[in-house]
Amino acid sequence: MSDGRFSENTKNHRFSDHGAGATTKKKAESKPARINYEVKELSSTTWPDFEKFFAKHNGVQGGCWCTFYHHTEGRLLKEGLERKDAVALNRKEKRTLVNKRRSHGILVYAGNQAVGWCQYGPKEELPRIDSGRNYSKLDVSDDQGRNLWRLTCFFVDRDFRKKGVAGVALKAALDSIQEQGGGIVEAYPSTSKEGGSWALWFGTVAMFEREGFKAHAKLGEKHLLMRKTLA
């Protein structure tokens, strides 16, 4: 099993879109502006960009700072602390994990601004999934001895949504996993879009289908376990 560490060097890939999702009546007359995206690994070097991005959105999901799935227990904010202190603790914890190379993720950039995020990591780095009510009932004994990777969180800057940024982050995360040895990659998308963007942090079923993931098991009524093997 990979120990989930990766090189400090950031790998830059370039993606572009022509404003996918931004359909306008004028489309036939003038092409929407081309947006070029660059992707980088979260690391101590890119931490300031991540920090600025997440701080703009108050730490995301009520101050999580994308720490929730790093814990075995289900806590967003540590109990017994004032809210602002609990949020600050999450931010500090994330930074410590990044510095220790125990937190993986892809940042998508528009220019020099980080605007998209996909958290991925080896199973051991994101243990909260194992204790999930539905996941814990699954028989995953056939996974023994294989690298198992998880894709747990997507987040896109509110000013850059519905332009395919999450899809860019997903492709880059899969490239990174492949470069780090590959294995089984798991995703847990919502089967409904009823909750809107807030409730889609795991991504959509179609996002993963587009990348060749297959349904593996139901996770209750609202989520699906999907998998893809990267050799």
Ligand X SMILES: CC(C)(COP(=O)(O)OP(=O)(O)OC[C@H]1O[C@@H](n2cnc3c(N)ncnc32)[C@H](O)[C@@H]1OP(=O)(O)O)[C@@H](O)C(=O)NCCC(=O)NCCS
Nearest distance from C-beta of residue 189 to ligand X, angstroms:
9
Q: Closest Cα partner for 154 from 120, 104, 184, 130?
A: 120
Could you give the dihedral angle defined by the CA atoms of residues 96, 81, 74 and 199, in that order, rounded to the nearest 10 degrees? -90
Nearest distance from C-beta of residue 101 to ligand X, angstroms:
19
Exposure string over 109-148, b if 16+ CB within 10 A, otherwise e: bbeeebbbbbbbbbbebbebbeebeebeeeebeeeeeebb
**Residues contacting 50, CB < 8 A, separation 6+:** 42, 98, 105, 107, 114, 117
Which of 147, 151 has the CB closer to ligand X?
151
Alpha helices in the chain (DSSP H): 47-56, 83-99, 165-179, 205-210
Nearest distance from C-beta of residue 68 to ligand X, angstroms:
8
Give the footprint of ligand X on this chain (CB under 6 A). Answer: 21, 60-61, 64, 66, 153-156, 161-167, 193, 196-198, 200-201, 204, 206-207
Nearest distance from C-beta of residue 10 to ligand X, angstroms:
20
Nearest distance from C-beta of residue 112 to ligand X, angstroms:
19
Nearest distance from C-beta of residue 89 to ligand X, angstroms:
16
Q: Which residue is nearest to ligand X (CB)?
A: 197
Are 70 and 97 spatial neighbours (Cβ–Cβ below 8 Å)?
yes
Nearest distance from C-beta of residue 3 to ligand X, angstroms:
23
Are 37 and 116 spatial neighbours (Cβ–Cβ below 8 Å)?
yes
C-alpha separations of 164 from 15, 17, 59, 111, 191 in Å: 11, 8, 22, 16, 19
Name the one residue in this structure whose structure tokens are 């492949």. Answer: 178
Tokens read off for 36? 């070029």
